[in-house]
């Protein structure tokens, strides 16, 4: 019985030794590789796993903690900071919430930082780069929205993708985000109104530790909007990535991402302006319709058309109004309706006064002025009396 148990334990030890020997932790076969391009794809993945295992073990010994590469930042000295370089960025999608004045923005930032724990000898490991298949295997800067601890953060989202490192410890990653940006809206050129929407990205746990460095001093060149899918036209002069201080800590950095867009709706612009232009044209040609009564009818029709156009404009107005902005199209509507009302009142008054019987003829200069206006402006001409050519003289007895 005892002998059988010893035999079983010996067999288990031999099996364990065979498994350990079969799994080459150090990837000793890499010494036989002359060109990494000749290595099969599955073997290259094994080589990356061996390299990552080696770097993890070295980081645990360096920082005296297990899983240090995943849980601890790369610096160990007191007062040392981590410089995160912002290489470039892009906006891929955006759509507007007119009620809450919020712009939903999807995009990414390409970041780079140095991790001294990810250094190796490329001649020994036959590779100069290491791809990390999961962000959970490596510590990364906690860059998130500045509204992380508020209820409005529920729809904001950031995540790292495409993380890789070279043999010098330079880590590059793509930080993808989906943010709700607050917008300042200028309705002066409505319906081609302008919106300026901004949101902030910052570190919450390591406020003074994470420092941002801009690849280009001018933030206007770092945000690519060529691949954006939206019905808004992006304004490059109001689009940027800028490094600022955090509002609650002047020694901490934050990134301000702003996008300026202008609505380009040619169809809506034509729908809002064409009826008023037609009514204004009708008002201008009203004197050519002859009698004052006909002119009054024409101007009343133009006024009705303008009121209908104004009602259509009111239906297109945002639910919360235009705020402090006064759209130029509203000024144009008010001016057109005001001029039409004044013209209608003047025509009615002139028509009423023209029906008053006068026993005394007007002064000669007034008669000449009226004839001049009637001949050139056609604003008040009446039909001339018909005569049969006979003399109207009365013989005096």
- Enumerate the domain spans of the chain: 70-264, 267-356
Distance between CA atoms of residues 175 and 257, nearest Å: 13
List the single range of 22-26, 86-90, 329-333 with lowest mean pLDDT: 22-26
> 234-249, pLDDT tens digit by residue?
888 888 888 898 887 8
Query: For the purposes of burial, counting CB atoms within 10 Å of the CB of 80, is it exposed (0-12), middle (13-18) or buried (19 or more)?
Result: exposed
Distance in angstroms (rounded) separating the CA atoms of residues 159 and 165: 18
- The pairs formed by 338-345 with CB atoms below 8 angstroms and a separation of 24 or more are 339/283, 340/279, 340/283, 340/299, 340/302, 340/303, 340/306, 341/303, 343/283, 343/286, 343/299, 344/296, 344/299, 344/300, 344/303
Q: Which two tokens stand for residue 269?
A: 């612009």
- Identify which of 344, 355, 354 has the alpha carbon closest to the alpha carbon of residue 296: 344
| Cβ 192 vs Cβ 175: under 8 Å | no
Task: List beta partners, residue 96.
Answer: 103
* β-pair partners for 263: 232
Rg (CA), the chain: 40
Task: Answer yes or no: is pLDDT of 196 > 80.
Answer: yes
Q: Residue 385: which pLDDT band, with cuts at 50, 70 and 90?
A: low
Position 278 scores a pLDDT of 86
CB 380 within 8 A of CB 370: yes
> Worst-scoring range by mean pLDDT, 103-117, 142-156, 270-284?
142-156
* Three-state DSSP state, 388: coil
Report residue 32's pLDDT band, with 50, 70 and 90 as the boundaries.
low
Q: What is the pTM of this model?
A: 0.71
Give the tens place of pLDDT for each residue, 213-235. Answer: 988 776 777 888 877 767 788 88
CATH of domain 70-264: 2.70.170.10
Q: Which pair of structure tokens corresponds to residue 278?
A: 């037609």
Task: Return the pLDDT at 282.
Answer: 86
pLDDT digits (tens, 9 = 90+) for 361-370: 777 887 888 7
In whole angstroms, what is the distance from residue 273 CA to residue 128 CA? 63
The overall average pLDDT reported for the chain is 79
Q: What is the pLDDT of residue 318?
A: 74
DSSP 8-state secondary structure symbol assigned to residue 132? E
The answer to which of 21-25, 170-174, 198-202 has the lowest mean pLDDT is: 21-25
Greater confidence (377 vs 47) lies with 47
What residues pair up with 91 in beta bridges, in sequence order?
A: 107
Strands of the chain, DSSP E:
82-97, 102-114, 129-132, 143-145, 157-166, 170-186, 194-203, 210-214, 223-224, 232-246, 249-263
- Which DSSP symbol is given to 363? P
Q: How confident is the model at residue 397 (pLDDT cuts 50, 70, 90)?
A: very low
Q: Other CB atoms closer than 10 Å to residue 138's CB: what's the count?
A: 23
Check residues 394 and 281 and name the one with the higher pLDDT: 281
CA distance 227 to 90: 8
Distance of CA 26 to the CA centre of its chain: 50
Contacting residues for 254 by C-beta, under 8 A, at least 6 apart = 146, 200, 201, 202, 212, 243, 244, 245, 246
pLDDT, tens digit, 9 for 90 and up, residues 322-352: 777 788 888 888 888 888 899 889 888 888 8
In this prediction, residue 172 carries a pLDDT of 94
- Cα–Cα distance, 35 to 53 (Å, whole number): 22
Question: 334 vs 137, 228, 346, CA distance in Å?
Answer: 65, 38, 18
């Amino acid at each position: 019985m005892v002998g059988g148990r010893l035999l079983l334990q010996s067999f288990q030890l031999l099996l364990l030794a065979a498994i350990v020997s079969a799994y080459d932790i150090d990837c000793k076969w890499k010494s036989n590789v002359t060109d990494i391009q000749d290595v099969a794809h599955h073997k290259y993945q094994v080589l990356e796993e061996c390299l990552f295992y080696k770097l993890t073990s070295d980081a645990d010994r360096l920082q005296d903690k297990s899983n240090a590469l995943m849980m601890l930042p790369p610096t160990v000295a007191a007062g040392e900071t981590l410089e995160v370089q912002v290489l470039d960025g892009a906006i891929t999608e955006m759509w507007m919430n007119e009620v809450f004045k919020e712009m939903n923005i999807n995009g990414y930032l390409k970041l780079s930082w140095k991790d001294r724990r990810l250094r190796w000898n490329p001649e020994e490991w036959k590779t100069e780069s290491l791809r990390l298949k999961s962000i959970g295997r490596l510590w990364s800067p906690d860059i998130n929205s500045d509204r992380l601890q508020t209820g409005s953060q529920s729809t904001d989202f950031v995540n790292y993708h495409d993380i890789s490192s070279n043999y010098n410890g330079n880590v590059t990653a793509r930080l993808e985000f989906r943010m709700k940006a607050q917008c300042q809206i200028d309705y002066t050129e409505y319906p081609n109104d302008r919106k300026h929407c901004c949101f902030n990205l910052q570190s919450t746990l390591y406020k003074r530790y994470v420092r941002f460095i801009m690849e280009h001093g001018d933030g206007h060149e770092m945000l690519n909007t060529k691949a954006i899918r939206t019905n808004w036209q992006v304004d490059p002069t109001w689009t940027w990535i800028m490094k600022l201080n955090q509002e609650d800590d002047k020694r901490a950095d934050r990134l301000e991402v702003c996008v300026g867009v202008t609505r380009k709706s040619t169809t809506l612009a034509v729908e809002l302006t064409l009826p008023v232009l037609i009514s204004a044209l009708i008002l201008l040609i009203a004197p050519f319709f002859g009698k004052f009564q006909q002119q009054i009818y024409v101007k009343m029709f133009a006024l009705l058309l303008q009121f209908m156009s104004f009602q259509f404009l009111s239906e297109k107005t945002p639910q919360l109004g235009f705020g402090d902005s006064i759209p130029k199209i509203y000024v144009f509507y008010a001016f057109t309706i005001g001029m039409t009302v004044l013209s209608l009142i003047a025509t009615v008054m002139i028509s009423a006064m023209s029906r008053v019987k006068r026993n005394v003829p007007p002064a000669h200069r007034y008669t000449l002025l009226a004839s001049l206006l009637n001949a050139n402006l056609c604003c008040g001409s009446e039909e001339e009396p018909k005569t049969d050519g006979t003399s109207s003289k009365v013989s005096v007895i």
